Amino acid sequence: MPNLSANGIRIEYEEFGDRSRPPLLLIMGLGAQMILWPEEFCEQLAGRGHRVIRFDNRDVGKSTWFDDLGVPDALMRQPVAAPYLLRDMAADAVGVLDALGIDTAHIVGASMGGMIAQSVAIDFPSRVRTVTSIMSSTGNPDLPPASPDAMGVLLAPPPTTRDEAIERSVSVFRTIGSPGFPFDEAEMRERAARAFDRGFNPAGTVRQLVAILASGSRKQALGAVRVPALVIHGKDDPLVPFPAGQDTAAAIPGAELLAIDGMGHDLPRALWPRFVDRISALTARA
């Protein structure tokens, strides 16, 4: 896969579809590499007339790691001291567009990627055609927290070997995934093995988590967003509970809310056609 220079760092990326079509930038979540956007899902979006771009966020996969900044020990302290913030990661995303010669794009983010997408819409409004926030949050501190089980797998000590990393991924997604849809363990194991081989960086995940905690609430700022917006959220999400999706949709003027029974904190294959339909309907409006 190619890489580029964006916002002063190296970013690994991949494209799907016709480069003459409207660009759609996919931003993945906490500690997750771009391959968590499945190739087939990207191809389905490309088949609906989009130039689809996915990339590794800073501190994961093959993009620049910030190991020189150390591992924050401030998770339980307030205020949180963060090596970087979500707005810096939003600037990375815009830097990808700059490097590819793209003026404006449809922005789609999942989980932490949804927070970054929101930050792009807030801080770089002229670069955004539409914004889609999936299983994400405004950062509103009054929202309900993750379930104890979900928080437990998120904050468990990191694995140290390839086999442990694969087993951890299976355990995590069995805990936070969608109870109403089949869990494909074989696919999860394959994707976890690929992620480990591409670049295993648990310290980067901690730095990203601290960036989330230190970035605060976007709820008020989202009131100034004036592009078409879609919020997709599962009603059975144990990590970012459904009220967070409702809060996001309420914060963005005119945003649509797609609430899905049985969906947890993942992207079940059975829902891909529905996601593609609703995202494509949104982009068509712009």
Residues forming the active site: 111, 237, 265
Query: Which of these, 68, 42, 40, lies nearest to 55 by C-alpha position?
Result: 42
Distance CA 68, CA 58 (A): 13
The percent helix, strand, coil of the chain (3-state, each to 5) is 45, 15, 40
Q: Are 236 and 178 in contact (CB under 8 A)?
A: yes
Residues shown for the chain: 286
The greatest distance separating any two alpha carbons of the chain, rounded to the nearest whole angstrom, comes to 48
- Say if residue 102 is exposed, middle or buried (CB neighbours under 10 Å; 0-12, 13-18, 19+): middle
Q: Are 218 and 122 in contact (CB under 8 A)?
A: yes
